[in-house]
Amino acid sequence: MTHPYDALDDTAFWRTGVAAADPAAMHGIYVPKVRIGGAHVATAGSCFAQHVGRALRQAGVAVLDAEPPPFAMPDDLARRFGYGLFSARYGNVYSVLQLEQLLEDARTGRVDPAEVWERDGRFFDAMRPGVEPDGLDSPEEALALRHDHLARVAAMLAQTEIFVFTLGLTEVWTDRLTGRAYPLCPGIVAGRFDPARHRLHNMTMPEVVAGLKRARARLLDFRPGMRMILTVSPVPLTATAAGGHVLAATTWSKAVLRAAAGEMAAEFADVDYFPSYEIVTNPAAQGRFFGPNLRSVTAEGVTAVMRVFLAAQGLAEAEPARAATSVPDPDDPEAGQEAICEDILLDPGRG
Amino acid sequence: MRGLVLGNSHIAALKAAHRRDPGRISCTVDFAGGHGDTLASFTEDGGVFAAREPAARDNMMRLNGRLDYLVEDYDFFVITGCGLSVFNAIALYRGARHLGLPSMARAEAALKGADDPGWRLVSRANWDAALRAAILGTLGGRLVKRLAQAAERGGGGQKVIAVVQPRPSELCRAEPRRFAGFLRAEVSGDDAALAAGFEAAVQAALAPFATVLIQPGNTCAGALFTAVAYSAGSLRLAPEGEAVPHPPTDFLHANPDYGALVIDQIAAALSLRPAA
C-alpha cells in the first residue's frame, strides 16, 4: 500500500531535512520563484537586510545604491552615516507601515516639518534618525536633506527590477493625529514621547498583508514589472512594549511576519519568499547562528543564509568550500560586521 | 632646546628660511625632509625614528645626510605639509555641498531634486566628520599621531606642532583646469567658508596630538590662495647646499619668505623669542 509520503524528498522529513542535515548548508529549503540574474536589485528592511545587501554585492549582484558616499570616507564613518547599508540612506525600515510611508513619500516628495526631532539643540529626521548620528544644525537642514533623499529614492525605485525587503517588526510607534509610523519610539534617539499623542500599534497578520499589497502596488507604480523578494529577519526583538514577555512577543511578531510573507508569495507570481528566518533559527544549529547576546546573527549564520540564497539563485556554489569565494566568509571581518540597529537603544542595559 | 622639523617638499621653505636666518628662532633645529610619501615609513622603534623602506631610506640619506633621529634628542617636533592642506576641503567640494556654504542659499531648486547639480547635498556634520577623517588619514595626520604617541611612550613630553600646507599660489588661476575646484569655490562665493571649515577641522582633528599652526593671514590672497609674494621663488627640497628653484608653473609651494613667517609662528608657539 502506498501513500503520499512515500514519494517525498528527504527535505520533506524532519529527520533527514533538519536533524541529520548540515544547518550551515541547507539543501532544498529555497527554490527561487523570482530569479535575480542580472537584474537591478534594491534592498531595504530591518538591520538583517544590511547583511543581505552586502552579500549580494559581494556576489556581484547589481545592487542599486541611490546615495553612495559623495566623497572618500573611511568605511566605518560611512556606515555610521548610513551609507552603503541599504540601497539608499533610509536607515532601518523595520515595519511594513514604514515601508508604505517611505514609498508614498518618495512618490509625492512629501516632507513634513513636524517630523523633525530635536535633542540638545541638534535636529533629526524622525523617519531615519540613525543616519545622522551627530544630528543636524537646524530643522531646515533636516528638511532639505529629506527632500534630497526622497528624490533619490524615487529615482532609484524607477530603476529597480527586484525589491528585496526584510520584514523586522510588527510593533510600531505611530502618531495618533497623523497616523505616521516612526522607526523608533519618540524620545529614544531624539524627540519627546507624548503618551497622549504617540501610541504603540502591534500589526496583525491581515494588516501586514494589506500593507505589503499596498507597498507592492506602489512599487509597481515606480516601475511596472518590479518583483519582490520578502524575507523575515531572524533577529529577535530588543524589547517589547506590548505588555508581555519579550520571548513571546518575538515569537508572535515573527510568526505574523512569516505568515504574511508566505501569503504574499502564495498569492502573487512576482513575489517570492526567502527563508532566512528559518535557516538562522533552525534547531539543528543549536543556537550557534546567534551571538552571545542571543540576538545578533553571527558571521557563520549570515554565511549559512546567503550560501543558500546565492546557490539557489545560481550566483554561487552550494558547497561551503567552493562558496567561500563568493559568499561571506566567516573569517572575513566584513561578514561579521555588526549591523547598524537603532532598536538596540531600547535596552538601557545594553552597555 | 632642540627641535626636529619633518616634512615633504613643503619643508624646503622653512629650511631655506632657517639657513638664511638661523637666529630667527632661539634653538637648534634639525630638518628631516623626504620627497612625496617618503616619510610614510618613518616610524619609531626603540626610541629611534627612521624611515624603514629601502627607497625611503635612500631618499632621506640623500636629502638629509642621516637616517636615524633619537626621540630623546628633541624637545619638540614639527610636521609641515604632508597633505595637511585645504585641498582636503576642495576634494569634498568636488562632489558635495552642505547648507553652511553661501552658494547653497541660491540652490533651492537643486535641494528639491529638480535638477542634477553635479554634487550631492550632505549634512554639515557629515562633511566635518569626513574632513576630519581625511585630515587624520593624510601623511601629515599619521605622522602627527605617531610622533605624539612616541613622545608619550618615551615620557619626554615633547611638544608636537603641525604646520598646515600653504594654499596654492594665486597664480594658479592661469591653469583653471588643474585648479578647477578652487576656482569654482571662489566664483560661487564658497571660498571663505571652505577655508574656515578646513582650519576648524584640522584644529579639531589634530588637537589631541598637536598644536596646529594655520597659514598666516597676511600671506593669503583671497580665501584659498597664497599671495604671489609668498609663492614666487619657491625652492625644491634638495640636498644641503643645493638651491633648485621650482618651475614657474609649480603653484603649490611657498618661498623662503613664507617659511620665515612659519618659523616665527613656531617660535611663538614654543615661547621662543628669536635669538639675539
Residues in chain A within 8 Å Cβ distance of B126: 81, 132
B94, B96, B111: residue with CB nearest A144: B111
Residues in chain A within 8 Å Cβ distance of B100: 137
C-alpha cell at A27: 539543501
> Which residue from A minimizes the CA distance to B117?
A148
Is A145 in Cβ contact with B94 (below 8 Å)?
no
Is A148 in Cβ contact with B121 (below 8 Å)?
yes
Check if the interface score ipTM surpasses 0.90: no
Residues in chain B within 8 Å Cβ distance of A121: none
**Smallest Cα distance from A342 to chain B, Å:** 18
Is A71 in Cβ contact with B91 (below 8 Å)?
yes
Residues A250, A233: Cα–Cα separation, whole Å: 11
**Smallest Cα distance from B178 to chain A, Å:** 19
CA dihedral A162, A168, A171, A177 (to 10 degrees): -30
For position B57, what pLDDT does the model report? 96
Is B123 in Cβ contact with A77 (below 8 Å)?
no
Q: Does any CB of chain A come closer than 8 Å to the CB of residue B147?
A: no
pLDDT surpasses 70 at A328: no
pLDDT surpasses 60 at A206: yes
pLDDT surpasses 90 at B18: yes
Work out the pLDDT band at A47, boundaries 50, 70, 90.
Answer: confident
Which residues of chain A have a Cβ shorter than 8 Å from any chain B Cβ? 67, 69-74, 77, 80-81, 109, 132, 134-138, 140-141, 144-145, 147-148, 150-152
C-alpha cell at A251: 515569537
B113, B124, B130: residue with CB nearest A137: B124
> Which residue from A minimizes the CA distance to B108?
A144
Is A134 in Cβ contact with B100 (below 8 Å)?
no
**Smallest Cα distance from A93 to chain B, Å:** 21
* More confident site: A319 or A64: A64
How far from B230 is each of B9, B39, B59, B234, B255, CA to CA, in Å? 16, 26, 27, 8, 5
Is A141 in Cβ contact with B129 (below 8 Å)?
no
For position A154, what pLDDT does the model report? 98
Which residues are bridge partners to B79 per DSSP? Answer: B6, B162
Please state the rounded mean pLDDT for residues B247-270. Answer: 95
pLDDT surpasses 70 at B65: yes
Please state the rounded mean pLDDT for residues A96-120. Answer: 96
- What DSSP designation does A307 have? H
Residues in chain A within 8 Å Cβ distance of B125: 132, 134-137
Q: Which of A65, A71, A128, A140 has the highest number of chain B CBs within 10 A, making it the mutation to test binding with B?
A: A71
- CA-nearest of B168, B254, B257, B162 to B208 is B162
Q: Does any CB of chain A come closer than 8 Å to the CB of residue B125?
A: yes
Distance of CA B244 to the CA centre of its chain: 21
Residues in chain A within 8 Å Cβ distance of B134: 72
Residues A135, B123: Cα–Cα separation, whole Å: 9
Residues in chain B within 8 Å Cβ distance of A152: 113
For position B272, what pLDDT does the model report? 84
Is A72 in Cβ contact with B130 (below 8 Å)?
yes
Please state the rounded mean pLDDT for residues B96-106. Answer: 91
In chain A, where do the E strands start and end?
40-45, 62-63, 116-119, 122-125, 162-167, 171-175, 181-182, 198-202, 227-232, 271-274
- CA-nearest of B66, B80, B62 to B265 is B80
> Which residue from A minimizes the CA distance to B119?
A70
pLDDT surpasses 90 at A129: yes
Residues in chain B within 8 Å Cβ distance of A73: 129-130, 133
**Smallest Cα distance from A54 to chain B, Å:** 22
Q: Does any CB of chain A come closer than 8 Å to the CB of residue B120?
A: yes
Please state the rounded mean pLDDT for residues B74-97. Answer: 96
**What residues 75-114 of chain B have any CB closer than 8 A to a CB of chain A?**
91-92, 94-96, 99-100, 111-113
Residues 6+ apart with CB under 8 A from A277: A231, A232, A233, A234, A254, A258
B2-7 and B28-33 strand pairing: parallel
Percent of chain B whose pLDDT exceeds 90? 88
Is B134 in Cβ contact with A137 (below 8 Å)?
no
**Smallest Cα distance from B189 to chain A, Å:** 20
Is A145 in Cβ contact with B95 (below 8 Å)?
no
Residues B20, B10: Cα–Cα separation, whole Å: 16
Residues A157, B61: Cα–Cα separation, whole Å: 59
β-sheet with B2-7: strand ranges across: B28-33, B2-7, B76-80, B159-163, B211-213
Q: Does any CB of chain A come closer than 8 Å to the CB of residue B149?
A: no
Residues in chain B within 8 Å Cβ distance of A83: none
Residue-wise pLDDT tens digits, A251-273? 999 999 999 999 999 999 999 99
For position B153, what pLDDT does the model report? 85
Is A109 in Cβ contact with B130 (below 8 Å)?
no
How far from B13 is each of B69, B165, B253, CA to CA, in Å? 21, 11, 8
* More confident site: B118 or B99: B99
**Predicted TM-score (pTM) of this structure:** 0.90
In chain B, where do the E strands start and end?
2-7, 28-33, 42-45, 48-51, 69-70, 76-80, 96-97, 120-121, 159-163, 211-213, 220-221, 225-226
Residue-wise pLDDT tens digits, A179-204? 999 999 999 999 999 999 999 999 99
A162-167 and A40-45 strand pairing: parallel
